[in-house]
Copies of this chain bind each other. A is one copy, B any other.
């Protein structure tokens, strides 16, 4: 009997999120699945990890081939705990998401979904973060299944270069069918925040962060452009921040 691969899964929208439940459903026939999420959303946690408070884990499902936990950690914590606490062997693949909301362009840096995928890549585990460019509690995921499966099967079979996590973003569902998958680069597009000032019942000011997304990147092969053209965007992501072109130019 061929041993099934082992897939570790987390997300940052909480364990009940539609995108997460869909990802679990799609992965179960392919592999033994261990899933760790949180009770509530941990969106925009970036690569936060938990050192100032104790971590907790509750097993909520224990079936043959499928184990599910709820933790009080961040998405990066969940992958760390999966790797170094829960699993007795390294997973063959880590998949995260499917995030409710795009993690294209600069969103990758704020994204718990992609932090978790990069956390796996650091240990040489192939990793894929999936996100859909639609926010809200129940976005339309009906166009993603075949692409999730195609990408996951390819990575299970062929692996990924060491230290790479794929940042896969699906365009929002439209009446037109998705045209296919394109490899893309991270768009240099960022948020410009605005702060909405309010008064609490006790007369104290507080602020809600909102913002507009500004894409001034003219290159044609960015994740934003590819998604606008109704393709699935796949950015091969790595975790070296070094601006290598400056290494021999900068002196102090």
Contacts and interface: CB of A to CB of B under 8 A. Distances in A.
A164 B51 contact: no
Contact of A151 (B55, B151, B252): B252
Contact of A193 (B84, B239, B241): B84
How many copies of the shown chain assemble into the complex?
2
A186 B237 contact: no
Contacts of A172: none
A245 to B, nearest CB: 9
Contact of A250 (B45, B190, B204, B236): B236
A108 interface: yes
A204 to B, nearest CB: 7
Contacts of A55: 195, 206-209
Contacts of A207: 54-57, 81, 85
Interface stretch (A21-29, A31-39, A115-123, A136-144): A115-123
B239 A198 contact: no
Given A54-B198, A209-B80, A110 B238 contact: no
B51 A209 contact: yes
A30 interface: no
A190 B76 contact: no
A51 B42 CA distance: 10
B241 A204 contact: no
Given A55-B207, A80-B209, A246-B161, A118 B109 contact: yes
Contacts of A106: 122, 239
A89 interface: no
Contacts of A240: 185-186, 188
Nearest to A118: B109
Given A44-B51, A252-B181, A56 B221 contact: no
B109 A239 contact: yes
